Structure 1
């Protein structure tokens, strides 16, 4: 009974792969005809190249599933025992509070100073909202 079910499932997957390739080949042909027409563009030519790839994707998935099913149990156990890597949360960065030198303060004009105060205020609000 299990062999019959497996055979039926494989035939169904092969049928889906073939149907997908036929449909996508038809769509590629349609886009080729649009490209060759007077109103065609290079976008249609791009679709001509993409549709066969879309049609081959189910076959790739079928091949990959079969390859994974044939993998020895030892490799599966090693893969499941591999430690999961979780990213560590980042520590919040301290705010930049470098005091400008007296010479730099004297050289900057009032408009620039007002803009810098505005940016510092926005940054402080953003830091308070993110907590």
Structure 2
């Protein structure tokens, strides 16, 4: 790993991790006292178990980020990218065939088909 062991960024992250753990352990102690009191419930005991996990989470994230960075740095350099393949030839669009010899039974369907044919022709003109 490169760089100094004690950079300002690492010290700040470690400080936040320690502060988070101390704060969350204090909250766990408070919930334990609530659980032992006359008004305590099982929910308080659940919080006693939950708060230390919250406190350890920033330290876990710091450890995980360092591990991922180390894996990334030690990874083998990527092989050179292959030459790009030539662009495929696009076949000429099929001609739009309309049935003018047969009457349409549904004028709404015929109008929709004409609209689709116009959209297709417009799209073909824009791609050229």
2:101 maps to which residue? none
- RMSD over aligned CA atoms reads 2.5
**What pairs with 1:1-131 in structure 2 (closer than 5 Å)?**
3=3, 7-71=7-71, 72-74=74-76
Distance 2:48 2:65 in 1: 28
Please state how far the C-alpha of 1:73 moved relative to its aligned partner: 2.9
Instruction: Give the ranges of 4+ consecutive aligned residues of structure 1 lying more than 4 Å apart after TM superposition.
Output: none
Task: Give 5+ residue unaligned stretches, structure 2.
Answer: 80-128
Residue 7 of structure 2 aligns to a residue whose secondary structure is: helix
Distance 1:13 1:57 in 2: 12
Task: Give 5+ residue unaligned stretches, structure 1.
Answer: 79-131
Distance 1:39 1:77 in 2: 62
Distance 2:3 2:75 in 1: 20
Greater C-alpha radius of gyration:
2
Distance 2:78 2:63 in 1: 22
Please state how far the C-alpha of 1:70 moved relative to its aligned partner: 0.6
Q: Identify the structure with the greater helix proportion.
A: 1
Normalised to the residue count of structure 2, the TM-score between the two structures is 0.54
